[in-house]
Amino acid sequence: MNHIQTEISRISARLAAYPDPFEHAGLYAAQQALSWALQPDAFASPLAIITRSEANSADCSEQARLRRLPDIDGAKQDEPER
């Protein structure tokens, strides 16, 4: 599984270079998925990331995350509408 850790390191280096938002999203998703494959108890599954469930994720890199901005109504994007 050394190849997985190598790829995670390459992705982390690219994320540190502040890529454009679209590239960032893809890189972050790949980083999370590879990290989950190595440590499923420490990271959220790819499905949980896609569905925005943040439970059970240690996160690969806090710096790598895109900031979640409030929507136009000022509500948090993470919260379901009621």
Tally of structural domains, the chain: 1
The verdict on residue 69 lying in a domain is no
Note the pLDDT tens digit of each residue in 13-70.
Answer: 999 998 898 899 899 989 999 999 999 999 989 888 888 755 544 554 554 444 444 4
Whole domain around residue 29: which residue ranges?
2-58
Q: Is residue 72 part of a domain?
A: no
Q: Is residue 52, in this structure, part of any structural domain at all? A: yes
Instruction: Tell me how crowded residue 65 is: count the other CB atoms within 10 A of its CB.
Output: 13
Q: What is the pTM of this model?
A: 0.59
